[in-house]
């Protein structure tokens, strides 16, 4: 079974078989990939079997980093805070 199919079918037993086969393939890059996966195999297995994702969190972090980069050198923390949360700045002025 190919690696992509293992991920799509959430087949942990197939993952173990694929890792063993890939380790014996003789290609250095594949062998290094297998070693990397095996370093944290429990996390990899959870990633294969679980249905949830941290994509929303990663997206928010990416948005924040992009905003910080665009604001670099323009102004202080006050402008950054206002850009990050327009509703919170409205609430602060309403006090």
pLDDT tens column, 20-66? 999 999 999 999 999 999 999 999 999 889 888 788 888 888 988 88
Instruction: State the Cα–Cα distance between residues 53 and 36, nearest whole angstrom.
Output: 21
pLDDT score for 82: 75
Instruction: State the Cα–Cα distance between residues 48 and 50, nearest whole angstrom.
Output: 6
**Per the structure block, which two tokens stand in for 26?**
């003789």
Report pTM.
0.55
């Amino acid at each position: 079974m190919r690696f992509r199919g293992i991920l799509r079918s959430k087949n942990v037993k197939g993952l173990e078989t694929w890792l063993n086969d890939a380790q014996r393939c003789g290609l250095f890059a594949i062998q290094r990939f297998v070693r990397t996966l095996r370093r944290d195999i429990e996390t990899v297995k959870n990633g294969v079997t679980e249905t949830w994702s941290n994509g929303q969190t990663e997206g928010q972090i990416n948005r924040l980093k992009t905003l910080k980069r665009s604001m670099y050198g323009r102004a202080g923390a006050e402008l950054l805070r206002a850009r990050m949360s327009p509703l919170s700045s409205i609430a602060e002025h309403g006090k």
